[in-house]
Chains A and B, each alone.
Chain A
Amino acid sequence: NAGVTQTPKFQVLKTGQSMTLQCAQDMNHEYMSWYRQDPGMGLRLIHYSVGAGITDQGEVPNGYNVSRSTTEDFPLRLLSAAPSQTSVYFCASSWDREGNSPLHFGNGTRLTVT
């Protein structure tokens, strides 16, 4: 049981490049989400999904795209990377839509945009 698998662990991009951060979970979780973590800012929600085919915006969605074609996968796409997107990104999932389920996190991706 791998839990939440997030790749890559590190990535360096040039301004204007695009890339996709991969996230997969094998726990049959309905809820999946992407956060970015910046110093002193905590975790800010980028996008989330409550099931296959359903996605919605979080607090900081600009410059990011997501899709949820299967229950297992929830990739995050950076359309045209900007230095402001330098951050650590976390994918997280939970068992159900009820609040009592804790989030299970991937190991994070450290992204640097130069």
Chain B
Amino acid sequence: AQTVTQSQPEMSVQEAETVTLSCTYDTSESDYYLFWYKQPPSRQMILVIRQEAYKQQNATENRFSVNFQKAAKSFSLKISDSQLGDAAMYFCAYRPSGGSYIPTFGRGTSLIVHP
């Protein structure tokens, strides 16, 4: 079974600084997809960024980028120029490309942004 590990229960960052959230996963599959979701205090789950395992290029969405290391099974999220609105719980998720296609989530990292 696939597992997703977020080793940092909580992280903090100063406004305008950069922070990196870690995620590792375990799978025997070669083709899969990885996601980061944001859950602000409103409780709504929001897709932040998505990475296809077959793509070597790291995904980027404005201030959010990933460092995808397939061999190391690592998928970290970098938030640049942190803003107060980035404060939230962040979940890393893995989803196989076929077969069970059931997503597996990490336990989440709570990001605190200090003004």
- On A, residues with C-beta under 8 Å from B are 31, 33, 35, 40-43, 45, 48, 58, 88, 90, 92, 97-100, 102-103, 105, 107-108
Contact = CB atoms under 8 A, between A and B. Distances in A.
Given A105-B44, A107-B43, A99 B107 contact: no
Given A48-B102, A100-B52, A108-B43, A42 B97 contact: no
Nearest to B97: A99
A40 B91 contact: no
Interface string B104-115: 011110000000
Given A88-B43, A102-B50, A40 B98 contact: no
A45 B33 CA distance: 18
Interface residues of B, number: 26
A99 B98 contact: yes
Contacts of B64: none
5 contacts: A42-B91, A45-B103, A98-B98, A103-B103, A105-B44
B68 interface: no
A99 B95 contact: yes
B101 A99 contact: yes
A100 B108 contact: no
Contact of B101 (A92, A98, A102, A105): A98
Contacts of B47: 102-103
Contacts of A48: 102
A100 B103 CA distance: 10
Given A99-B97, A105-B44, A105-B45, A42 B33 contact: no
Contacts of B93: 103
A102 B50 CA distance: 8
Contacts of B44: 105, 107-108
B107 to A, nearest CB: 4
Contacts of B95: 99-100
